[in-house]
Amino acid sequence: MSVVPIPDDLQRRYRNSRERRAWLASLPDLLDTCLSYWQLTPDTTEARQVRNGSSGIVVPVLTHAGIQAILKVAYPYPETLAEPVALELWNGHGAVELLRSDRPHCAMLLERLDADKWLQDAPMDQAIAAWGTVMRQLCIEPDGRPQWDELPHLAATAERWSDELPEQWELLGRPFERWLLEAALEVCQVRGAVGRRSGTDVLVHTDLHFMNVLPRPGTGTYAAIDPQPGIGEAEFAVAPCLWNRLDALPQRNAEKGLQQRCRDLSDAAGLDAEAARQWSVLREVENALAYLAKEDHADDAARSLWVASTLAGRTLAGLPEAHQLKRL
């Protein structure tokens, strides 16, 4: 039996396909192998336990030198396979430091951050300021390192969405007004590989919401975790902070508050607020269609449609009020 307990939540998540069950069955041996090969000792207490997210397991450990670290083993999705690639490029600059990795098995030894003090619970002005500082650090431009060749380009993603989104909208029975779909398609044209006229490509953490920014203990600084990397315009990264923490929007005129948050995030990170707004409209329309294609995700789709249409300037009728939307 492995010395690391597998959380019940992770076991429930990975029982729904043969491939996932096989990975789950292999996980105890993989964890034990990493602990042995990297000379690690589990460092768990009642307050500091083994955790899991949607894609893998996180184990507090001590190295043979007594350094506090994190062992992370993830299911081999394309996004998780790309995570160590991005962390190698950032090399601890604005992102959690990668100490060791076993890329074929999606295993990483990481710097330990303070997981109990994420920006999700910080006052919004402080959260935006810290997020902006991290975002500025993450925006490195491509150089000659070969890792860049392994990452997708966001402008090409927009080009692909320009074909896929209308097809999905039709297949789903035109589930929202056409003008919102057209607003998203206009972003594909303006910011996609064909229509884009200017802008600097950087390494983008495409899932940089407030829960993925943690403090470095004792330093007063923050670092990003769990990157889903891409190469493109930095403004692509703003959207997750707009669909998260909607409950923190003003009680009166939440729509205006969302628009202002987009501008505040952009200002904090030195970004173009209009480009950030455009990318966020597109990303939330794509999210809404993905949710609508699944069972039991109507609440998630409603949230995405509220954010997308509000940022597009005309909140769709029939949606819940902002503070009644499903929380992230």
pLDDT digits (tens, 9 = 90+) for 273-313: 999 999 999 999 999 999 999 999 999 999 999 999 999 99
Q: What is the DSSP string of 270-295?
A: T--HHHHHHHHHHHHHHHHHHHHTST
List the alpha helices (DSSP H) in the chain: 8-13, 18-37, 78-90, 124-138, 154-171, 178-191, 240-243, 254-269, 273-292, 298-311
Q: What confidence score (pLDDT) does residue 197 get?
A: 53
Q: What confidence score (pLDDT) does residue 115 get?
A: 87
Q: What confidence score (pLDDT) does residue 194 get?
A: 57
Q: What confidence score (pLDDT) does residue 49 get?
A: 87
Q: What confidence score (pLDDT) does residue 196 get?
A: 57
Mean pLDDT score, 155-168: 96
Band of pLDDT at residue 199, cut at 50, 70 and 90: low
Strands 68-74 vs 51-52: parallel, antiparallel or unpaired:
unpaired
3 pLDDT above the threshold of 90: no
Options 3.20.20.450, 3.90.1200.10, 3.40.50.720, 1.10.357.10; which CATH number does 119-324 get?
Answer: 3.90.1200.10
Domain ranges, ordered by start, for the chain: 8-111, 119-324
In the predicted model, what is the mean pLDDT of the chain? Answer: 94
Strand partners, 111: 69
Long-range contacts of 173-176 (CB under 8 A, 24+ apart): 175/289, 175/292, 175/301, 176/288, 176/305, 176/309, 176/316
Q: What confidence score (pLDDT) does residue 200 get?
A: 83
**CATH architecture group of domain 8-111:** 2-Layer Sandwich (3.30)
Q: What confidence score (pLDDT) does residue 193 get?
A: 65
Q: What confidence score (pLDDT) does residue 300 get?
A: 97
Structure tokens at 166: 């209308």
Which residues, 6 or more positions from 153, have their beta carbon under 8 angstroms from its beta carbon?
193, 201, 230, 231, 232
Q: What confidence score (pLDDT) does residue 16 get?
A: 86
Residue located via tokens 């802008």: 199
Q: What is the pTM of this model?
A: 0.94
198 pLDDT above the threshold of 80: no
Range of lowest pLDDT (89-98, 105-114, 192-201) = 192-201
Q: What confidence score (pLDDT) does residue 2 get?
A: 65
Q: Please return the burial class of 183, using the count of CB atoms within 10 Å of its CB with bins 0-12, 13-18 and 19+.
A: buried
For residues 276 and 328, the model is more confident at 276
264 pLDDT above the threshold of 80: yes
Q: At what angle do helices 154-171 and 178-191 cross, to 10 degrees?
A: 160
Mean pLDDT score, 250-267: 97
162 pLDDT above the threshold of 60: yes
pLDDT digits (tens, 9 = 90+) for 6-49: 999 999 989 889 999 999 999 999 999 999 999 999 998 876 88
Q: What confidence score (pLDDT) does residue 325 get?
A: 95
Q: What confidence score (pLDDT) does residue 103 get?
A: 92
